[in-house]
Structure 1
């Protein structure tokens, strides 16, 4: 927890302040949240039938990462850069699915799994950076076949 001044008084010598979360606390919350997300954690070579659930999970992750970004007070912090990169990975996965996930429709097992593998690689890379910087347990995402 940190303290951030919000207002000062000149003659009354007063200071208004609020408690803020540290970047490390936010980073831990992000790791805990992502560690149990279906789109990241369940096996490899998944059937196309799971595409809709994975797209919904990715959308939830994207929204939640945006919420975590609003909690960061430092505009140019490394954590902000890493969380934005993670959020972009989820956005790109959703875009790869196309409107209403049509590109991940019947017969698209390969396309779906390639997009899923790329998402996991990108999120894992950013999570590794975060875990090293803040000395946290990182994500241990399942391996995928190439």
Structure 2
């Protein structure tokens, strides 16, 4: 945790400050959050469209909040922005999915709805790539596995 000076009083003296997070701490907190998201890490046989929408919105909000926590490097900002973009793309693509309830997998193990399958694969691929980059830059392990097949 760092300290940022926010003011100096004169003539009698005095300094005011606030505690700040380091970039690594902020990314670690983001990883803890993302590891808990079923949308990213759960290889289940079915999903509910509305829950996926709510989860993507929650992830997007957390990513935006994380950007405001620290003065991140240009590369880290790029990774986080890429994940925000993946959330937006996922939400846009879910608009084309007509199912309102449960979306099941087919006998081949892929999502029965091809639009949902494509959206989910793209979403998870972007997150997997950027989490791997952030993990190597900050030396933080992302403990969950984001499925590659769907």
**TM-score normalised by L of structure 1:** 0.84
Unpaired runs of at least 5, structure 1: none
CA 1:33/1:93 → structure 2, altered by over 3 Å: closer, same or farther?
same
Distance 2:48 2:36 in 1: 16
Partner residue, 2:107: none
Over aligned residues, Cα RMSD in angstroms? 2.1
2:2 matched to 1:2?
yes
Match of 1:87 in 2: 84
Higher helix residue share: 1
Q: What is the aligned partner in structure 1 of residue 119 from structure 2?
A: 115
Whether 1:141 and 2:138 are equivalent positions in the alignment is no
Q: 2 CA distance for matches of 1:123 and 1:80?
A: 14
Q: Within 1, Cα distance between the matches of 2:11 and 2:130?
A: 47
Q: TM-score, normalised by structure 2?
A: 0.81
Relative to structure 1, the CA distance from residue 17 to residue 77 in structure 2 (aligned partners, 3 Å threshold; closer, same or farther) is farther
CA distances 1:32-75 after superposition (whole Å, capped 9, x unpaired)? 1111212111227x55x622211111111011111112212x26
The unaligned stretches of length 5 or more in structure 2 are: 104-111
Task: Number of aligned residue pairs: give it.
Answer: 138
CA distance in 1, matches of 2:10, 2:130: 44
How far does the alpha carbon of each residue in 1:62-98 deviate from its partner, in whole angstroms, 9 at most, with x for none? Answer: 11111112212x2654333221211111111011122
